[in-house]
Amino acid sequence: MSVPRSETLRRVVSIGVFDGLHLGHRAILERARARADAAGCEVVVVSFDPHPDVVLARDAFRLAAPLTPIGEKRRRLAELGIARLDLIAFTRELAALEPEVFVERHLVVPHAPRAIVVGAGFALGRARSGDVPRLQAIGAAHDFEVEAVPLVAIGGAAVSSTRIRALLAEGRVAELPALLGRTYALEGRVVGGDAIGRTIGWPTANLRLHEEKLLPRDGIYAARVGIGDEPVTRPAAVSVGVRPTFDGKSRTIEAHLIDFEGELPGREMRLAFVDWLRPELKFESPVALAGAIQADVEECRARLARAPQAGV
């Protein structure tokens, strides 16, 4: 039996992992917002942490870092006008619940939904048996509607987190704004490094991320950065990788801000990837590396001059 709730407390619920908050996710959330606005009620996004595929080990490729860490997810949802994010700890026990039990325990009791809005392929509960038709049957028993929003297709294929991850793995960051509605960006604090770049004439800012986030393929990228609260417009050449010329072991994110003068350690930075230039290479000497960086910087200038500005 459902728990009686006042009509004023009932919400529109959208449930999913929403990793990436790409254009497909936004279509779902915009529909949920529209229903909530029409009913004069609140939207709540119900999501999971950690990612279900991490817990269930469905695919080693999906065990990587998230596309949108929790802090970023909250911020992006707020930008969409959704202030409430309800995170459920995902466990194997949770995955084994019958859909009716899951809905009663995690949706009806805390949120008293008047409607649930999901993607067309959504399913929950034991063996993913809680698909849209079954959720609609559960909704009939609990006095809520279930609406499935069609997948968004771009370039002949559905927009999905898996597709975005595959592009990142290949360094194809220039294709991501079409799927995300924005450039793929990292946020963090500039920390002190070993000053190798400065010693060869190309100082870099070493970025330490605030939250673990999936990195694109190792290599050299044209990017735009913002320092502190300024817009993300400064041109930069960015290296993601292990610095093989110096036998590096740990992966670093280093940005050379083109035509910038000033001190950066300790400052906040947002870094948006615009285009991929080349793979990370091992050079025979620091002098050879410096020559390659000079060519990279000029190529970054040219590509950034041609690339349209996109949201971050």
Cβ 77 vs Cβ 45: under 8 Å? yes
Name 237's bridge partners.
222, 256
Q: Is the dihedral of CA 76, 233, 206, 180 positive or negative?
A: positive
Question: Which residues lie below 8 Å from residue 22, measured CB to CB, with a gap of 6+?
Answer: 159, 160, 161, 164, 179, 180, 181
Whole-number pLDDT of residue 195:
63
Give the CA count within 13 Å in the CB-facing half-sphere of 109. 8
Strands 205-209 and 219-227, how do they pair? Answer: unpaired
Whole-number pLDDT of residue 1:
43
Cβ 305 vs Cβ 233: under 8 Å? no
Cα-to-chain-centroid distance, residue 200: 34
Cβ 92 vs Cβ 48: under 8 Å? no
Give the CA count within 13 Å in the CB-facing half-sphere of 267. 14
Q: Distances from the Cα of 180 to the Cαs of 18, 22, 43, 125, 167, in angstroms?
A: 12, 4, 22, 28, 12
Consecutive H or E run containing 33: helix 23-39
Cβ 84 vs Cβ 43: under 8 Å? yes
Whole-number pLDDT of residue 250:
84
Cβ 193 vs Cβ 239: under 8 Å? no
Amino acid occupying residue 221: Y
Cα-to-chain-centroid distance, residue 206: 21
Cβ 22 vs Cβ 31: under 8 Å? no
Which residue carries 């048996």 as its tokens? 129
Q: Which domains does the chain have, with CATH numbers?
A: 9-158 (3.40.50.620), 176-306 (2.40.30.30)
pLDDT tens for each residue of the chain, 312 residues long: 444 445 557 999 999 999 999 999 999 999 999 999 999 999 999 999 988 888 887 655 445 799 999 999 999 999 999 999 999 999 999 999 999 999 999 999 999 999 999 999 999 999 999 999 999 999 999 999 999 999 999 999 999 999 999 999 999 999 999 999 999 999 999 998 776 767 777 889 999 999 999 999 999 999 999 999 999 999 999 999 988 777 777 889 999 999 998 889 999 999 999 999 999 988 888 888 889 999 999 999 999 999 988 888
Task: Give 4's DSSP letter.
Answer: P
